[in-house]
Structure 1
Amino acid sequence: MKTMKTMKTYAMIFILTLSTILVQGQSHKEANSKTTYPTSYNTVKVDGLDIFYREAGPKKAPTLVLLHGYPTSSHMFRNLMKDLSSEYHLIAPDYPGYGRSSQPAMKDFDYTFENMSIIIEKFLGKLNVDTYSLYLMDYGAPIGYRIFERHPERVEAFIVQNGNAYKEGLTEFWNPLRTYWNDYTIANGKALEGFHSLEGLKWQYTHGVQDISKVSPDNWHIDLQHLSRPENNEIQLAMFYDYRTNVSSYPKWQKLFRKHQPPTLIVWGKNDIIFPAEGAYPYKRDLKNVEFHLLDTGHFALEEKGDEIANYISKFLRKNLK
């Protein structure tokens, strides 16, 4: 009898173990059943300029337009696009003078945030993209908010990652830029050139991160390759100077936030000195539907917290897009 009981016990353990393995196997299969889409690399003509862009995901899915910051390009979204391609149609352009897009001479092109927003709006028109959510990072915020200003009905949601729309976010780091805005001289511009040196680029990627080994050094070397083109230094200084027009537009954009109330996901690297967390909180004043996350990382939060951000975006858009 004792032997029979022992055998029954072993049989029950075997059955339970087998059931657990089958359930885990099914869960693993389901977790990996999503179809992932490769990223394609394309160029389209906009006002005679070659605008390079990355694209991934099914075109019938909701569109997320990824707007990069200074001093980088659509390269910053390379991993996020893979992570979200099973659910969303992702488009990430390079602005003129950045990444692989054309760099027209300054005498032929106005390097301003207003003009950049016009080019990107025309770019979306070329791709027949009529409605979209916007991922707004650094320079991508004022470019995206200008597009929103002209066509609020087209914007379904905001994902804001270290992108400012409030003066609270312009702390003492910005003092050299304020000096340049108030006194537009060669000397004051020269003081800002270190931001797009190799050391300055590396600092932007690594300051405030928890584990530098997670940040690929390819980032700053790829950026430097594009920033080292003839006249690009002057282009960056022109954009630095024009940033003052964004600050004066903040009240107008805040009013639009209050009026149109786009659902907004904040995913902000809280250790960023350039756009510190002080600039994240004020969005709550004007927007009612805000999901808010401060992440323990720096300026380029996707480098260290990309998986976490992708997960937040996926859940947020599923919940807020009809």
Structure 2
Amino acid sequence: MDHAGERTALMIIPLFLGAALNTFAPNTAEFFGGFTGALITGTLPILGVFIFCVGATIDFRSSGYIARKGMTLLLGKIGFAALLGLIAAQFIPEDGIQSGFFAGLSVLAIVAVMNETNGGLYLALVNHIGRKEDAGAFAFISTESGPFMTMVTFGITGLAAFPWETLAATVIPFLLGCILGNLDHELRDLFSKVVPAIIPFFARQHAEFWHAAPIRIAGYIHRGFCGHVIRRLSVLLDRFIARGDGVAGVAASSTAVAAVAVPYALAEANAAFVSVAEAATAIIATSVIVTSLLTPLATVWVDKKVRRNKHKTPPPDKQVTLH
């Protein structure tokens, strides 16, 4: 199995294990308690460490190309998620769709899926296909993993409000990581290795295998639509703003494993999300699984297509000029 395949397995296997645990033994954490219970239910402490370590990977002296690539994909996707959230809020009730074919769909599910990029999978893919120059954008893209950017999106659009203490508490670990990582390069190297190691621990899901079949169906349809939109958007951003060839944009079109922790993190900060958190988690988990499978395939396919087109283009001195 290649590195991209290993990273895909890293995303999917813990998701299934976590879902199986919640389906067949949902009271495991309460039964054992202690360290076992904390490992199963302690999403927020793990997420705090993850955000800190992601912050440590940011290099303030990044090259212009890396910064342009990373910031383009980051801000472009957040901006589009905000726009889509505003549009969806005009049609979807605050407590989500309660019945019918799209039962369980909510503005929270839509924004979180669009907003959360799997930085670890992106890094594995661009390294696998030999695009070392794009790998540096990982630090910027990884900042989308976790609740902070989704909180910001809801805040700037006016769709929800969060106390400033909550926003500060979310961003402080990231800023501390940034400071330490830039003060000491050895610390940056140390914490950057922790980021992929933490990912499997987000597998503790609230979602169950058999949790409301319509919600799963809505999740697949929602992911199919959003997946196509995200890929197209990311490719356009990469080509026309970051001045790339679109491959990095495709590699950044997945949904982060950390996104499954977002609904309940937001529900703890704002009670308005409590009623939609469980269904949103199920839809997001579906998106994580689907994109973990499809994003590597799409990235490799686009990369091969780009390479073929480059080989077909004759060098400048051999191109035919029509008069």
- Higher RCO (CA-CA < 8 Å; seq separation 6+): 2
Q: Which has the higher helix share?
A: 2
More strand by share: 1
TM-score, with length taken from structure 2: 0.26
TM-score (norm 1): 0.26
Q: Which has the larger radius of gyration?
A: 1
